[in-house]
């Protein structure tokens, strides 16, 4: 029962944040789930639950999707995400958890101290680099959003175009990646109740997020999230080392 309560409330928070910033549900949910599930099950629960919200946002902004801006990043992201999912079961879970903790620390430090100082170009090099790194992290840890959000903030003209293109990438890659998880045995039927619980939480969070979105600056929300990511990453690393 404890796991269901945790999944519901952390999904609610994740859905609220993603509705405001365009990403972040995976980051928030994966701050907590690895304390209750291993790093094979946790990303599967998180990414599958998020698909519902991703579909709704994609559908809402479908008219603003530009296939010229999403085709290449989506293909690259999906290839590397699927590859990392297929390899994940062969990795040492303790080592993977340590790597995950280090990844959280680096991710948080980057976005807290450097993301506003470095501007990405909209060129093919930026698209490839962001898509490769994000795909690997999305497949292994269920967190592929931050770098792609940074990329699409550089190549889109307004919030609606940004959300439409970003969520389209997550929807297509998420469907293929989660199908791979099922076929690879990473996602099993016993995880479905947790996924459905997460879906409900994310749906309620979306309603709250849309209501408060106009009152809380997205930058402030991101800052709060990444300080929490930093603390969680440090705790995860220390737990594996001590």
144, 81 Cβ separation under 8 angstroms:
yes
* Range with the largest mean pLDDT of 20-24, 26-30, 169-173, 182-186: 169-173
Q: How far apart are CA 78 and CA 177, in angstroms?
A: 7
pLDDT in tens, 92-125: 767 777 887 788 788 778 777 776 666 666 678 8
Q: What is the dihedral of CA 24, 29, 30, 33, to 10 degrees?
A: 180
In the chain, how many domains are there?
1
165, 65 Cβ separation under 8 angstroms:
yes
> Stretch 125-150: mean pLDDT, rounded?
82
Q: Range of 64's domain?
A: 2-241
Q: How far apart are CA 203 and CA 90, in angstroms?
A: 34
> Stretch 49-55: mean pLDDT, rounded?
84
pLDDT in tens, 161-171: 888 898 899 99
> Stretch 143-160: mean pLDDT, rounded?
79
Query: Could you tell me the pLDDT band of residue 47, with boundaries at 50, 70 and 90?
Result: confident
Distances in Å between the Cα of 57 and the Cα atoms of 76, 170, 182, 214 are 22, 11, 24, 17
Distances in Å between the Cα of 122 and the Cα atoms of 110, 127, 148, 151, 226 are 20, 7, 12, 7, 25
Query: Could you tell me the pLDDT band of residue 22, with boundaries at 50, 70 and 90?
Result: low
> Stretch 188-217: mean pLDDT, rounded?
83
Q: What is the mean pLDDT of the chain?
A: 82
Secondary structure letter of residue 61 according to DSSP:
T
Residues in the chain: 242
Secondary structure letter of residue 37 according to DSSP:
S
Determine phi and psi for 129, rounding to 5 degrees.
-60, -50
81-120 residues labelled b (16+ CB within 10 A) or e (exposed): bbebbeebeeeeeeebbbbbbebbbebbeebeeebeeeeb
């Amino acid at each position: 029962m404890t796991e269901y309560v945790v999944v519901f409330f952390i999904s609610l928070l994740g859905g609220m944040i993603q509705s405001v910033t365009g990403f972040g549900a995976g980051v928030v949910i994966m701050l907590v789930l690895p304390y209750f599930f291993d790093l094979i099950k946790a990303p599967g629960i998180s990414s599958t639950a998020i698909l519902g919200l991703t579909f709704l946002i994609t559908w809402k902004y479908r008219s603003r999707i530009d296939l010229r801006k999403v085709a290449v990043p989506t293909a690259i992201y999906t290839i590397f995400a699927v590859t990392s999912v297929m390899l994940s079961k062969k990795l040492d879970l303790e080592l993977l958890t340590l790597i995950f903790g280090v990844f959280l620390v680096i991710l948080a430090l980057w976005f807290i101290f450097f993301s506003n100082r470095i501007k990405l170009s909209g060129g093919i090099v930026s698209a490839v680099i962001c898509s490769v790194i994000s795909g690997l992290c999305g497949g292994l840890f269920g967190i592929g959003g931050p770098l792609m959000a940074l990329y699409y903030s550089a190549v889109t003209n307004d919030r609606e175009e940004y959300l439409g293109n970003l969520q389209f990438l997550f929807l297509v890659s998420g469907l293929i990646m989660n199908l791979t998880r099922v076929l690879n045995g990473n996602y099993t039927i016993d995880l479905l109740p947790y996924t459905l619980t997460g879906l409900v939480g994310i749906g309620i969070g979306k309603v709250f997020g849309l209501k408060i979105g106009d009152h809380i600056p997205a930058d402030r929300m991101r800052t709060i999230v990444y300080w929490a990511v930093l603390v969680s990453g440090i705790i995860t690393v220390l737990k594996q080392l001590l």
